[in-house]
Amino acid sequence: MTEINKILCPDCKAEIKPIEGMMVGDILECDECGTEVEILSVDPLEFRELIEEK
Lateral strand order in the sheet of 27-29: 27-29, 36-42, 45-49
What value does the mean pLDDT take over residues 34-54? 90
Q: Say if pTM beats, i.e. exceeds, 0.85.
A: no
Using one digit for the tens of pLDDT, what is the confidence trace for 8-41?
999 999 999 988 899 999 999 999 999 999 999 9
Q: What pLDDT sits at residue 15? A: 95
Answer yes or no: are the C-beta atoms of 40 and 48 closer than 8 Å: yes
Structural domains of the chain ordered from first start: 7-49 (2.20.28.160)
In sequence order, the β-bridge partners of residue 46 are 41
Q: What pLDDT sits at residue 2? A: 42
